[in-house]
Amino acid sequence: MSAAKAKRRSSRALAAVLLILLTSCGSAPIAKPAEPENETVILYLSSNKENEGSSKIIGELSAEYQASHPNVQYKFENVAESDLNQRVQLLAASNDLPVLFSYQSGKPLLDLINSDSALDLEQTFSALGIRDRLNPAAVELLKAYVDGRGLYALPLELNIEGFWYNKDIFAKYGLKEPETWEDMLNIAETLKREGIQPFSVAGKEKWPITRLINAYAIREFGADAMERVDKGTLKLTDPGFAKAAATVQDMGLRGYFGSRVNTIDMGTSVDMFLQGKAAMFYMGSWQLRAFNDPSQNKIGTDKIGFFSIPLVPGGKGTRDEYPVNAGLTTTFSQSAYGPEVGQWMQYVFERYGDRAMSELGMVTGFNVRTMPADVPPLTQMVQDKINHVKKGALWFEARFNTRAQLTAWNNAQLLVTNAAYTPEQYMKELQRELDEERQ
């Protein structure tokens, strides 16, 4: 027999053996590689980028945990922000929520709470022995978002709002941090008289105007003003809200925001303040990144001061109450929670606050036990303010429906530029929107 024929017979024999083996398996599917026994997969679904901010810190701490717990696999899935809410709602409907996921707090989260889909995090953190890692003001704020039902979202970031000011400009004209709104308006008038724009306001974005209305309102009524409006125990037609709108309108009409406030976008507004072209800037601490960036900040971090919203005579608000927000929060699935997830949570969130601050200079709703020496002074100042917040306040539109939110924003532009549009009219139209929603 030739070598070629022998080779062909050998090939046919091998093929026959393979055919017999495959036939003996019947129609069974091809076996998948075996997974590790008792593997726990912790999936984080988020619209944030995996290697930025809070997602980066959680990923790093998870990798550390996995090194000694190979049966736990941490995975991250990014979803477009525009698709996030719908994706979470679909997963909740099929009882297939991942272990943790980014989700809008407030009314959307209430739906998950009512369907027993969301995990009670205050109860869970207490059981894990890490309840003290959470900042009390952040906890109270997030509870307020869901009508006091409990803590169902984590404050992976935390911001306070107030007035930032140029120390050099204040010093040049002998100005001091104001105690009352009257003091602040007198400062604004002095600056305008000297040719200095008092406030940088991004009117094109609309919401910076309503933030100023809210600032006055929470000093008039107290930090729970917008919670009471949402519950219907306080009306926007109350004279105190009209007074808030009238004060901001007067600031606009007097030129304290510049001559073309409604054409100024956020980038321009930030630049105006950081280039010394405006003396004061009402904004949240999320702008610390720009303040701490030498390429953007031309006046220097040591030239930036901060003061809490001034008081209103006879008002219920106090200087240690701040508008606070936690950005896009993270929620946990109740059905996906188990002992292994709990141990992972304990490791990650016991360390989260300190790691976020030391690595990113990031202010969160977690207590920082050891403040790094190289944290920028402004960041350290904000962290200290947050540690001493008496009560957090919601922003103006926090509990508004979409239509009321747009009405508040669009009409705010009209309010600060048109004297014929009255503060009473502004608030009356908004209250009508809220009343129609309740019907």
Q: Quick one: average pLDDT of 355-365?
A: 93
Q: Is residue 12 predicted with pLDDT exceeding 80?
A: no
User: What are the pLDDT digits (tens) for 395-439?
Assistant: 999 888 889 999 999 999 999 999 999 999 999 999 999 999 887
For the chain, give every domain's residue range.
Answer: 40-158+326-368, 160-324+395-438
How many other CB atoms sit within 10 Å of the CB of residue 64?
Answer: 13
Q: How far apart, in Å, are the Cα atoms of 345 and each of 67, 143, 365?
A: 15, 20, 16
> 103 is written with which tokens?
């989700």
CATH number of 160-324+395-438: 3.40.190.10
| CA–CA gap between residue 334 and residue 116 (Å, rounded) | 7
pLDDT above 90 covers a percentage of the chain that reads: 81
**Predicted confidence (pLDDT) per residue in 226-284, tens digit:** 999 999 999 999 999 999 999 999 999 999 999 999 999 999 999 999 999 999 999 99
* Banded pLDDT at 16 (limits 50, 70, 90): very low
- Decide the pairing of beta strands 278-284 and 159-166: antiparallel
Tell me if residue 223 falls in helix, strand or coil.
Answer: coil
Nearest Cα neighbor of 329 from 159, 125, 197 is 159
d(CA 164, CA 381): 12
* 119 — pLDDT class (breaks 50, 70, 90): very high
Instruction: Give the 3-state secondary structure of 124-144.
Output: HHHHHCCHHHECHHHHHHHHH
Distances (CA, A) of 377 to 201, 284, 321, 413, 416: 25, 16, 22, 35, 35
Helix (H) or strand (E) holding 45: strand 40-46
Collapsing DSSP to helix, strand or coil, 380 comes out as helix
Predicted confidence (pLDDT) at residue 349 exceeds the cutoff of 60: yes
Given a contact cutoff of 8 angstroms between Cβ atoms, the answer to whether 316 and 174 are in contact is: no
pLDDT, residue 37, reads 57
Query: Which CATH code fits 40-158+326-368?
Result: 3.40.190.10
Quick one: average pLDDT of 339-347? 98
Residues 198-236: tens digit of each pLDDT: 999 999 999 999 999 999 999 999 999 999 999 999 999
State residue 70 phi and psi, 5-degree precision: -65, -15
pLDDT band at residue 168 using 50, 70 and 90 as cut-offs: very high
Distance, in Å, from the CA atom of 140 to the CA atom of 110, rounded to the nearest integer, reads 16
Q: Write down the pLDDT at residue 416.
A: 98
Cα 108 from Cα 328, distance rounded (Å) = 12
CA–CA distance, 181 with 186 (Å, rounded to integer): 9
Domain 40-158+326-368 and domain 160-324+395-438 have a common topology: yes
Q: Residue 1: is its pLDDT beyond 70?
A: no
